Amino acid sequence: MKYDGSLSYKGTVTPLQKVMLWRRSFRKYRDGVVTAEQAAEIDAAARAFSGRMGFDSPAIRTTVAPAEFKAVVGAALKGVVGKINPWLPFTKAGAMILAIGNPLKAPVFGDRRVGVAQIAMVMEAAVLHAASMGLGTCWMAGINSREIEKTLGLPDEREIIAISTLGHPPAGISLLSWDGMTHHLVSKKRKPLSELVFVDRLGVRIPDSGFSQIGSIEGDALGAIFNAARVAPSADNVQMWRFVIAHAPETKMALLAALPGGCRASFQQAPLLIAALAEPWFVKGSRREQPFFMIDVPIAISHIVLQAAELGIACAVEFGVDEAAVKAAVGAGEGFRAVALVALGNQRRNT
């Protein structure tokens, strides 16, 4: 396995980082059965992550029943939006991870539905756990979600936010295959951190000294955390997320003022505060008009949360922010969206 050396911690690729680097969007699978026990393990991992985050809306359901899998694939392909994934009817995956949410159960701020963001984070935790088991996946949010909901008989308050095939990936990938071409033409062209992470103001890049002079969290740890976000999956690999670290006291105070009163005190005690934003993208949303920035940016945030946890660093996420105040605090221009504020705590050390 070839690893991207930029994702490491003190020169070593950690177990979680190996999983993040191995995970990719597989559209071709070899023959093989995903067992009910494997499906149950993935669902349990998703529930554990959701519980740790304090989410009460998301649900991950992994289906391995051949009839249900076939029905979901057929429903996903209906209509114009269903034609986005022409490879899906021919897949040998045989199993499917379903991201099911009740977005109205969580707070809603205009088109920023917190329930969508939560299920995106939980879904990525499930995908990464599947990868740790050697199983391949492929995120799909551009699907005919309403038809899938009808097929599954979901109650009106439940929505399909995304799905992912689940199966045994091939032993090798040909450069001329769909997976090979997308990997070399799209996935390998990820943006560097200098285009994704900024200090105090959007566009102010990380100093040449790196993260060592920013805040009280160890520089190597911060580098690992942001590189974990950098390798997160996104629609067409556009990496729409932008992170602004509040280094100056006035930036931190402005961001704290954008938080709801109930969590302001706990965020104020955090050594590092980060604004998570989305840059404009020409595709606004899926058929249900759930904006993609409320899916893709939370996926990257889930990588931050998981990488921080592996390094023993506390992390909190708040989606219920005053969007205009966050954008003003970090100088985000027209078209940018403020998605969340992330607080990183002190690193736990062995004594």
Domain boundaries, the chain: 27-167, 191-347
Q: Tell me, what DSSP letter sits at residue 207?
A: P
Q: Tell me, what DSSP letter sits at residue 291?
A: B
pLDDT in tens, 138-171: 999 888 999 999 999 999 889 999 999 999 999 8
Tell me if 131 sits within 8 A of 167, measured CB to CB. Answer: no
pLDDT in tens, 47-84: 999 999 999 777 899 999 999 999 999 999 998 877 88
| Helix/strand/coil percent split, the chain, to 5 | 45, 20, 35
Mean pLDDT computed over 236-240: 90
pLDDT of residue 84: 84
pLDDT exceeds 50 at position 287:
no
Tell me if 244 sits within 8 A of 275, measured CB to CB. Answer: yes
pLDDT of residue 81: 77
Q: How far apart are the first and last CA of the chain?
A: 35
* Structure tokens, 244: 């602004």
Query: Which amino acid is residue 121, in one-letter code?
Result: M
Tell me if 136 sits within 8 A of 167, measured CB to CB. Answer: yes
Range with the poorest average pLDDT among 97-101, 191-195, 286-290, 330-334? 286-290
Q: Are strands 112-113 and 337-347 parallel, antiparallel or unpaired?
A: unpaired
More confident residue, 209 or 284: 209
Residue 220: partners with Cβ closer than 8 Å, 6 or more residues away: 9, 10, 211
More confident residue, 16 or 108: 16
pLDDT exceeds 50 at position 350:
no
Other Cβ atoms less than 10 A from the Cβ of 34: the count is 24
Superfamily of domain 191-347: NADH Oxidase (3.40.109.10)
Q: Give me the percent of the chain exceeding a pLDDT of 90.
A: 70
At the topology level, CATH places domain 27-167 in NADH Oxidase (3.40.109)
Residue 28: partners with Cβ closer than 8 Å, 6 or more residues away: 87, 91, 92, 169, 170, 173, 177, 178, 179
pLDDT of residue 2: 52
Tell me which residue of 273, 266, 269, 270 sits closest to 250, measured CA to CA: 273
Same fold, 27-167 and 191-347: yes
> What's the length of the chain?
351
Q: Is 205 left (phi over 0), alpha (psi -120 to 50) or beta?
A: beta
Tell me if 320 sits within 8 A of 107, measured CB to CB. Answer: yes
Mean pLDDT computed over 183-196: 74
Task: Show the beta-strand stretches assigned E in the chain.
Answer: 59-63, 95-101, 108-109, 112-113, 136-140, 159-167, 197-199, 241-246, 272-278, 313-318, 337-347
